[in-house]
């Protein structure tokens, strides 16, 4: 395998770990704050009212299952589901931003922190989906050092995503604006 192909495959593995962690954190947090999730989903004004509660019950389960599957290296179905979820979330945010509704909570988890949607979140989700697509081709056999490197990179990406998400939510909070 050519070095460039190896690097792309390692980037896909790192993205799988990063997205898996982001989905696990978001899904667990959404489950912890499940009473708020139907309202968050309803605020997007994209689903018929009768589908909001089932979507709110299903979303944390799908995110946790997808996150866990990505973390343990299952592919390609979890990869496809992860990409679809990221693009679905990006699309829902983009539609609402275009409608002038950038003030609504993204619903990305962190139930105690309201994080308004914005183009940076759309871009983040599109970038993560693009990186995760690198995981679709059959991966080569990785050495232990390759796996450790991809794991460290994936954890770093996930932590950066969560950090910037939390900082943006704090910056948007009424207490910060005083």
Q: What is the pLDDT of residues 76-89, one digit of tens each?
A: 999 999 999 999 99
Indicate if the pLDDT at residue 12 is higher than 70: yes
pLDDT at residue 167 tops 60:
yes
* pLDDT confidence of residue 168: 76
Q: What is the CA radius of gyration of the chain?
A: 17
User: Half-sphere exposure of 55 toward its Cβ, with a 13 Å CA cutoff?
Assistant: 19
**Residue 41 confidence (pLDDT):** 94
- The torsion angles phi and psi of 117, rounded to 5 degrees, stand at -70, 160
The answer for residues whose C-beta is within 8 angstroms of residue 169's C-beta and 6 or more apart is 110, 113, 114, 115
Q: Is the pLDDT of residue 99 over 90?
A: yes
pLDDT at residue 56, as a whole number: 95
How far, in Å, are 27, 134, 178 from residue 61 at the CA level? 7, 25, 37
pLDDT at 171 over 80: no
pLDDT bucket at 154, cuts 50 / 70 / 90: very high
CB of 161 closer than 8 Å to CB of 14:
no
Q: Which residue has the tokens 């009473």?
A: 35
β-pair partners for 105: 116
Statement: residue 13 has pLDDT above 80 = yes
């Amino acid at each position: 395998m050519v070095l460039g192909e190896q690097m792309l495959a390692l980037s896909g593995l790192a993205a799988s770990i990063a997205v898996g962690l982001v989905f696990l954190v978001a899904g667990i947090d959404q489950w912890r704050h499940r009473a708020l999730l139907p309202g968050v989903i309803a605020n997007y004004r994209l689903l018929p009212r009768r589908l909001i509660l089932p979507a709110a019950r299903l979303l944390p389960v799908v995110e946790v299952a997808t996150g866990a599957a990505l973390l343990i290296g299952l592919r390609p179905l979890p990869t496809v589901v992860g990409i679809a979820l990221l693009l679905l979330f990006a699309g829902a945010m983009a539609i609402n931003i275009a409608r002038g509704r950038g003030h609504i909570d993204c619903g990305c988890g962190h139930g105690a922190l309201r994080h308004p949607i914005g183009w940076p979140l759309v871009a983040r989700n599109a970038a993560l989906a693009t990186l995760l697509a690198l995981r679709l081709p059959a991966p080569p056999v990785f050495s232990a050092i390759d796996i450790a490197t991809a794991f460290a990179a994936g954890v770093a990406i996930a932590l950066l995503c969560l950090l910037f998400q939390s900082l943006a939510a704090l910056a948007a909070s009424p207490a910060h604006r005083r």
